[in-house]
Structure 1
Amino acid sequence: MKNRLIAFSLAVIVLTPAILYLSKFHGGLTVQHERWGEAGSYFSGIYGSLALLVLAYTTYLTQAQFRRQNEDSIFYKLFDSLQYRIQNSSISTGGKEFSAHKSLKYIVDEFYKELSGEAVEIGRMLFCTEPEKVANVHYTKLFAAINGPTWIETFEEDRAAFIADITSQGHFNERWERLKDYIGSRGEESQSVREALRATGSVNFYKIPFKSRQRYYTAALQRILAEHGEFLDGYLSTILYIANICTTSKNSLQYAQYAQSQLTRYEVVILFYLLAGSDEKVVGAGNLKTLGLLNRLRTIDCQSLMIDLPSVEEIDREIAAVFETGT
């Protein structure tokens, strides 16, 4: 359809001068030499100008095609470089070795473990600062860990006494110290108490304000970077450069679709944590949102890799908060 439209337009441009001339100076062929000269001057002027326009247009098309080929070459070479980086990555730990895409899965699992550890801290903080807002199900787990199988016999009294005792303390430090009498010092809890705190923190992870939650992302990220920073820094820099090329190209849509198709679920989750845990603005990160490279977070295959299996609504809020504060 497009080619037919172009052909029709060219035909109109070429025929219009001749039609105008013949409609004005109609008649048969003449034997007068000067009449032929006048017609030649008219047509040479018109079609000479048209020839220049056609030449300029073909030059423009050639340059545009060259730019497109150059962009394609850079874009796909960068993706090849990214895949090469992944294929040659290797992590050795605990007598095991993870290579290529298995190393990505290992890093995502490490993020999950680290954030689960941070959930313990969140649980402790909630019992300290807002014990009256903690759901009964979490008190049952905590009291079962503290009191053993007899917890159910005095649950209501124990819960009321616990809340009254903690909230009666003067300020945060006093509450924190009083809480230790129940659950022990940080890092010295029994395993069952720690699991109860983890469950409380995990369920409430996406309910606390993002600015508070971000410090837990940052703490987890810093520990991950201490072990795998060289790979992750290079990976993020390459992705950001690719995203910049995508957004500045006229072929942005095709590049974005290709990039989305190439990123694994592990890469998408890692990208999110790299942005969420950054304590500084990540230059160029907004391009990742523009291209929709984190959209896959809304799918169950990515949600299942994240702490407490966030809902689509929670993911949307999380993405919005990350790009609001980190770009």
Structure 2
Amino acid sequence: MKNRLSAFALAIIVLAPAILYLSKFHGGLTDQHGRWGEVGSYFSGIYGSLALLVLAYTTHLTQAQFRRQNEDSIFYKLFDSLQYRIQNSSISIEGKEFSAHKSLKYIVDRFYRELSGEAVEIGRMLFCTEPEKVANVHYTKLFAAINGPTWIETFEEDRAAFIADMTSQGHFNERWEQLKNYIGSRDEESQSIREALRATGSVNFYKIPFKSRQQHYAAALQRILAEQGEFLDGYLSTILYIADICATSKNSLQYARYAQSQLTRYEVVILFYLLAGSEEKVVGAVNLKTLGLLNRLRTLDCQGLMIDFPSVEEIDKEIAAVFEAEA
């Protein structure tokens, strides 16, 4: 359809001067030499100008095609470079070797473990600062860890006494010290108490203010970067450059769709955690959101890789909060 319209427009442009001339001077053929010269001058001026316009247009098309080919070459070479980086990545942990895409899976698993550790801190903080808001189910786990099998016999009394004891403390430091009498010092809790704190923190992970949660993202990220920083820094830089090319190209939609199809679920989760845990603004990060490169976070295969299996609504709020913080 587009080609037909272009051909029709070209025909109109070519025939219009002749039609205009004949509509004004509609006599028959003449045997006067001068008149033929006048007609020739008219048509040569008109079609000479049209020829220049056609030449300029074809030059523009050629340049546009060259730019497109150049963009394609850079874009797809960058993706080849990204795949090469992944294929040649290798992580060695306690004698086990994780290579290529298995290294991406290892990094995602590591984020999960690190954030689970941060959930212990969140749980400890909630019992310290807002014990009255902690659900009964988490008190049952905590008292079962503290009192053993007999916890259920005195549950109501123990919970009321715990809340009264914690809220009676005047300052945060006093509460923090008093909490140690129940669960022990940080990193010195029993495994069962630690699991109770982890469960409390995980369930409340997306309920605490994002500013507080970002500190936990940052703490987890820093520990991972200490081991895998060289790979992750290079990976993020390449992705951001690819996203920049996508965003500034006339073929943005095509490139974005290709990029979305190439990123694995592990890469999408890693990208999110790299942004969420960054303590400084990540230049060009907004392109990842604009191009929809984080949209896959809303799918079950990505949700299952993240702490506490966030809902779509929680993920949307989290993405919005990350980029609001970026701005």
What's the TM-score bracket when you normalise by the shorter of the two chains? over 0.9
User: Aligned residue for 1:135?
Assistant: 135
For the Cα contact (< 8 Å) 1:119–1:201, is it kept in 2?
yes
SS of equivalent to 1:207: coil
Query: Residues 275-317 of structure 1: CA distance to partner in whole angstroms, max 9, x if unpaired?
Result: 0000000000011011010000000000000000000000000
Matched residues in 2 for 1:26 and 1:37: separation? 17
Deviation at 1:326, TM superposition (A): 2.1
RMSD between superposed Cα atoms in Å: 0.5
Deviation at 1:28, TM superposition (A): 1.3
Matches within 5 A, 1:168-187: 168-187=168-187
For the Cα contact (< 8 Å) 1:146–1:193, is it kept in 2?
yes
User: Aligned residue for 1:80?
Assistant: 80
Deviation at 1:45, TM superposition (A): 0.6
User: Aligned residue for 1:47?
Assistant: 47
Matched residues in 2 for 1:199 and 1:172: separation? 23
For the Cα contact (< 8 Å) 1:276–1:326, is it kept in 2?
no
Matched residues in 2 for 1:257 and 1:4: separation? 29
User: Aligned residue for 2:257?
Assistant: 257
Matched residues in 2 for 1:78 and 1:55: separation? 34
TM-score normalized by the length of structure 2 = 1.00
Q: Which runs of 5+ in 2 are unaligned?
A: none
Q: Which runs of 5+ in 1 are unaligned?
A: none
Deviation at 1:214, TM superposition (A): 0.2
User: Aligned residue for 1:292?
Assistant: 292
Letter of the structure 2 residue corresponding to residue 224 of structure 1: I
Matched residues in 2 for 1:13 and 1:268: separation? 52
User: Aligned residue for 1:209?
Assistant: 209
Aligned length: 327
Deviation at 1:31, TM superposition (A): 0.3
For the Cα contact (< 8 Å) 1:111–1:220, is it kept in 2?
yes
Deviation at 1:94, TM superposition (A): 1.5
Matches within 5 A, 1:1-327: 1-327=1-327
Deviation at 1:95, TM superposition (A): 1.4
Matched residues in 1 for 2:294 and 2:103: separation? 20
For the Cα contact (< 8 Å) 1:244–1:284, is it kept in 2?
yes
SS of equivalent to 2:92: strand
Identity of aligned residues (%): 90
For the Cα contact (< 8 Å) 1:90–1:99, is it kept in 2?
yes
Runs of 4+ in 1 over 4 A off after TM superposition: none
For the Cα contact (< 8 Å) 1:166–1:175, is it kept in 2?
yes
Query: Residues 205-224 of structure 1: CA distance to partner in whole angstroms, max 9, x if unpaired?
Result: 00000000000000000000
Deviation at 1:27, TM superposition (A): 1.7
Matched residues in 1 for 2:20 and 2:194: separation? 91
